[in-house]
Amino acid sequence: MRHLILSLALIATASAAQAETRLVGDLPREDPAKPLEALPGVETEYGVVRTSEGIRLRTIITRPAGATARLPAIFHTQAVSCGSLELPADRPTLLGELARRSGMVLIRVERAGTGDSEGPACSALDYDTEVRHYREAFDRLARHAWIDPNRMFIYGSSLGSTTAPLVAQGKTVAGIVVQGGGAYTYLERMIGFDRLYFERSGKVPPAEVHHRMLRSLRFNQQYLLGRKTPAEVVAADPSLQGVWESMRGTAEAPPHYGRPYSWHWQAAQKNYLAAWAELRAPVLVAYAEFDQFEPQGSHQVIADTVNRLRPGTARFIVLDRVDHSLGRCPDALAAYREQGCEPAREALLGPMLAWLKEQTDP
């Protein structure tokens, strides 16, 4: 019995040692007093990649504790918000569960000006530069000793679903998973944001929706396709005064969902469906039934297009009664107003883990 107890103690000690977190490379912590992320059963490496203009970006890479062989990897492309991708210690997250339960390497790259990363503030970072940084990081990390470069997946969430196929262009990608972002034009997307706000926020009488939408259409066309600032739009057409202030996401600073005008102008030029059509890899598209931003068609067109070109390579699923942030809600209005919703990460996590296992099983 003493030998058994000693053996179990040694195994536990070894597992604890393997599930370490370490800082490597020449990029210091922005806050030296902040503890490094630590997940049970997961080895974590805080590293660095240097972009072509010399900016050092923080990478956070995890793998199962005790792993020694090169593993399939999931490269994450982030939503529009500028928050750090370091995991909170006080609550579970989808990324944390992916790291723990996928059996794969999980790759996070902190945007310029976010977390420990150098460069311009994320609030000043434009869309094209963000995509280029992701693409450069993808190439550099494909050479990492933990990663099988022939089995690198991309997972895009929210507006990260729009950058995911752009990051994949011309690269060896094993598959892409997206949720919360589709392949309609960015102009359609932002006009759709306005319609859902007018219909579901409870702040606009139904009889006014028609008039509001016509003004939104005129404003967004000049703003996004004409590459005009809101002030320039109103100067050219004073009848559009007040449209900008009525749009969701414009109360944040900087001006639009926390990102500069250039970010949105560049996004509006992207041909997302063409990028998906180029892809030569399996795809999983997940649509949340009560999504507050994207319509189902914008998601489904990805799977329909890929399957039309390469039958059977795309899968489309609907997450029942789930909202954009993966909460399960009573109905669409409650979801939009964030009332009565409960965490429902498993709605996406379960199908996603099963799909990844299908793609990686020999």
What is the predicted pLDDT for the residue at 251?
79
Find the angle CA(178)-CA(36)-CA(144) to the nearest 5 degrees: 55
Among 182, 258, 261, 190, which Cα is nearest to 220's?
Answer: 190
Q: How many CA atoms lie within 13 A of 226 on its CB side?
A: 16
Cα of 46 vs its chain's centroid, Å: 20
* pLDDT of residue 49 exceeding 70: yes
The pLDDT mean for the chain works out to 93
* pLDDT of residue 321 exceeding 70: yes
What is the predicted pLDDT for the residue at 90?
85
Peptide bond into 254 cis (omega under 30): yes
Confidence band, pLDDT 50/70/90 cuts, at residue 151: very high
Q: How far is CA 278 from CA 136, 170, 199, 289, 297, in A?
A: 19, 9, 36, 28, 20
Contact assessment for residue 314 and residue 282, using Cβ atoms and an 8 Å cutoff: yes
User: What backbone torsions phi and psi does residue 301 show, to the nearest 5 degrees?
Assistant: -65, -25
127 compared with 91, residue with greater pLDDT: 127
What is the predicted pLDDT for the residue at 246?
87
Confidence band, pLDDT 50/70/90 cuts, at residue 248: confident
Q: CATH 3.40.50.1820 in the chain: give the residue spans.
A: 22-183+272-360
* pLDDT of residue 228 exceeding 90: yes
Q: Which segments of 22-114 does DSSP mark as H helices, in order?
A: 94-101
What is the predicted pLDDT for the residue at 250?
87
Q: How far apart are CA 229 and CA 150, in angstroms?
A: 43
Average pLDDT over residues 286-312: 97
What percent of the chain has a predicted confidence (pLDDT) above 90?
89
Q: 7-16, 70-79, 239-248: lowest mean pLDDT where? A: 7-16
Buried/exposed code over 200-226 (b: 16+ C-beta within 10 A; e: otherwise) = beeebeeeebeebeebbeebbebbbee
What is the predicted pLDDT for the residue at 278?
96
Among 147, 126, 136, which Cα is nearest to 171's?
Answer: 136
* pLDDT of residue 13 exceeding 50: no
State pTM to two decimals.
0.93
Which 8-state DSSP code applies to residue 170?
T
Among 145, 27, 152, 20, which Cα is nearest to 77's?
Answer: 152
What is the predicted pLDDT for the residue at 9?
36
Among 218, 195, 217, which Cα is nearest to 208's?
Answer: 195
Q: Does the 22-183+272-360 domain belong in CATH 3.30.450.40? A: no
3-state secondary structure of 326: coil
Joined together, the tokens standing for residue 95 give: 């990324």
What is the predicted pLDDT for the residue at 308?
98
